[in-house]
């Protein structure tokens, strides 16, 4: 990267490892404990995100994040056309040519990047869609679908996340573990009864234990006597052509 792009890099924040913040303090027995679950086998890489916008939470197990291109792994992956468009956009804005600046930013977005304003500065960031590994939250049309989405948004809103990536799924999402302020997000979602342990793709014993305890305490979706599994719901709706 040249010096002309210096204004775009920085603000690659890393979550605190000191434990759960006051804003995440759960009720009763639903507390998450940092560092309990070791990563599963097959980790490919990890990264830290910029602060998350709650609107980027798609459902109870999916989220869109942005990673600063100052990240060592990202800095060498930025396409040249994106670098040039970012510089030209900055110059256009300095000249108050906002029509050209907006057109250039559209080309940046189409390439999978975005210029994000943070603390009176601008950061060039890469977009990633994340699927939380090992859990399956209710779909939006299912009971507790909206509650699961809102719970995840409450956990991550405004926070920098540590994402441990295993693989890419058939929809182009990175499948991974998410940590936030020392909190293992999948643990919190399971303990609060906002998701199932997705045993077809993750057999970590602690996941099963967290779900089992939530079931016993009838928290979240387990307040229902027989909630439908989201994978069964999806299969049924595909069969019925919905």
pLDDT of residue 241: 66
pLDDT of residue 38: 77
pLDDT of residue 89: 97
pLDDT of residue 36: 54
Asked if residue 27 has pLDDT above 50, the reply is: no
Its pTM stands at 0.83
Task: Between 5 and 128, name the one with better pLDDT.
Answer: 128
Catalytic residue among 20, 122, 139, 187: 139
155-193 tens-digit pLDDT: 999 999 999 999 999 999 999 999 999 999 999 999 999
Asked if residue 135 has pLDDT above 80, the reply is: yes
pLDDT of residue 238: 81
Confidence of residue 226 (pLDDT cuts 50, 70, 90): confident
Q: Is 150 assigned a catalytic role?
A: no
Task: Between 110 and 234, name the one with better pLDDT.
Answer: 110
Mean pLDDT (whole number) for 49-78: 96
Asked if residue 21 has pLDDT above 80, the reply is: no
Q: Is 96 assigned a catalytic role?
A: no
Asked if residue 19 has pLDDT above 90, the reply is: no
Strands 57-59 and 161-168 turn out to be: unpaired
Question: Long-range contacts made by residues 24-31, C-beta under 8 angstroms, separation at least 24?
Answer: 24/155, 24/180, 24/181, 24/183, 24/188, 26/188, 26/191, 26/192, 29/191, 29/213, 29/217, 30/188, 30/191, 30/192, 30/214, 30/219, 31/191
Report the C-alpha gap between 156 and 75 in whole angstroms. Answer: 25
Report the C-alpha gap between 155 and 210 in whole angstroms. Answer: 18
Catalytic residue among 126, 133, 162, 173: 173
Confidence of residue 236 (pLDDT cuts 50, 70, 90): confident
Asked if residue 4 has pLDDT above 50, the reply is: no
Catalytic residue among 131, 133, 192, 204: 131
The listed range with the strongest mean pLDDT (11-20, 68-77, 233-242) is 68-77
Task: Between 98 and 7, name the one with better pLDDT.
Answer: 98
Which has the minimum average pLDDT: 58-62, 91-95, 192-196, 222-226? 222-226
Nearest residue to 7 (alpha-carbon basis) of 116, 130, 100: 116
181 neighbors 162 (Cβ within 8 angstroms): no
Q: Is 173 assigned a catalytic role?
A: yes
């Amino acid at each position: 990267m040249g010096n002309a792009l210096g204004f775009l890099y920085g603000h690659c924040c890393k979550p605190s490892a000191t434990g759960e913040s006051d804003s995440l303090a759960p009720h009763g027995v639903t507390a998450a404990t940092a560092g309990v679950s070791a990563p599963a086998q097959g980790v490919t890489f990890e990264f830290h995100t910029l602060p998350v916008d709650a609107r980027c939470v798609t459902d109870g197990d999916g989220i869109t994040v942005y990673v600063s291109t100052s990240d060592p792994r990202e800095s060498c992956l930025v396409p040249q056309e994106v670098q040039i468009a970012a510089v030209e956009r900055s110059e256009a804005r300095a000249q108050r040519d906002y029509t050209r600046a907006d057109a250039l930013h559209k080309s940046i977005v189409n390439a999978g990047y975005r210029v994000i304003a943070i603390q009176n500065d601008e950061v060039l960031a890469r977009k990633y869609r994340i699927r939380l590994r090992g859990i399956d939250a209710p779909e939006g049309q299912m009971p507790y679908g909206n509650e699961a989405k809102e719970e995840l948004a409450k956990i991550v809103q405004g926070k920098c996340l540590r994402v441990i990536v295993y693989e890419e799924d058939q929809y182009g999402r990175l499948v991974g573990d998410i940590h936030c302020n020392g909190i293992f997000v999948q643990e919190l979602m399971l303990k609060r009864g906002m998701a199932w342990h997705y045993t077809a793709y993750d057999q970590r014993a602690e996941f099963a234990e967290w779900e089992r305890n939530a079931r016993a305490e009838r928290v979240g979706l387990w307040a229902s006597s027989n909630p439908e599994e989201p994978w069964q719901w999806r299969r049924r709706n595909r069969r019925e052509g919905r």
